[in-house]
A and B are shown apart, each in its own frame.
Chain A
């Protein structure tokens, strides 16, 4: 199975558009699994009439302190990197919303006072949406701080059996994006030819390089200042895979929840060809 991440530094550059188009085009010949990893605001399912309904709750480790067993030795406080645990004179205070579920406190507690609790952080949805195309997405619970546990789970659930897996990455270049791109065979960076676009593209390209994932660039709303992206790409020896022109007609379809995969011919071919070349 080949894994392709569709990422960008900036938000709203067209990741979902490219991910959905690519998935549909590939599904004409191959078995495809589309993973919407933007768990804070998933949107791929909007573009399919048969949106997934099958749900699975995702939980993370949450320490449960047995106050009877705790003797306030302070070991857990020392090991917690996230300032969740505070030893008072006669009790342990726990700030749960800061917990990163690392299990460190449970490992070091000499009294066995910390046991395995769990806390729901979101839900997974998945189902077949079209012939040869399966969509998985997750929705994070309101108020949660970390998206990565849900992305991890989405990727873990990815079973073999598909020829291609397309990961629609969250915007930005921080942990959720890195979690999505890590381990992929290829990353498509979608960028706009604007000063904001190039600024964020540079950061995203750096992260992808650090992760050791080869990448190429798709310029979206091409036609204006493409040269700011061309210059960067040339300098960094990153190939421009495709230029999606600005199209009012395409945007009108999009606003009605329709993505026409054949609207910009050649998109999938170029990406696949480049990916296989590397």
Chain B
């Protein structure tokens, strides 16, 4: 599974960005191998419509889930339109966020 995480930097130890639309990067993490691809978020510097534009970035990367902080209403609609689920996490680092999410999912299953 490809998990997208809004991130302040380009490594698994980077902080999770608390704002979905304007985060500087997304890390697209492969949940099996923990290999990741950092993707620059062009929406971080856009004047308007950042939320939906960020959703488009994740859609293009083929990820169906994003771990992040706050998601605005426009971003929510766009994510829903693309069929991407947004999960709010409170973890510090990207690694913790992914591991925490996978652990939760396991117990749920």
Contacts and interface: CB of A to CB of B under 8 A. Distances in A.
Interface of A: 82-84, 86, 88-89, 91, 93, 95, 98
A74 to B, nearest CB: 10
A264 B56 CA distance: 60
B74 A95 contact: yes
A86 B51 CA distance: 11
A83 B81 contact: no
A65 B45 CA distance: 28
Chain B binding site: helix, strand, loop or mixed by DSSP?
Answer: helix
B51 to A, nearest CB: 9
A83 B82 contact: no
A84 B49 contact: yes
A86 B52 contact: yes
Please give me the 3 A-B residue pairs with the lowest Cβ-Cβ distance, nearest first. A83-B49, A88-B81, A98-B49
Interface of A is mostly: loop
B49 A82 contact: yes
Contacts of A84: 49
Contacts of B55: 86
Contact of A93 (B46, B77, B83): B77
Contacts of B77: 93, 95
Contacts of A95: 49, 52, 74, 77
B82 A88 contact: yes
A86 B78 contact: yes
A83 B72 CA distance: 15
Contact of B53 (A83, A88, A93): A83
Contacts of A91: 81
Given A83-B53, A93-B77, 5 more contacts: A82-B49, A86-B56, A91-B81, A93-B78, A95-B52
A86 B83 CA distance: 13
A267 B103 CA distance: 76
Interface string B53-96: 10110000000000000000010011001110000000000000
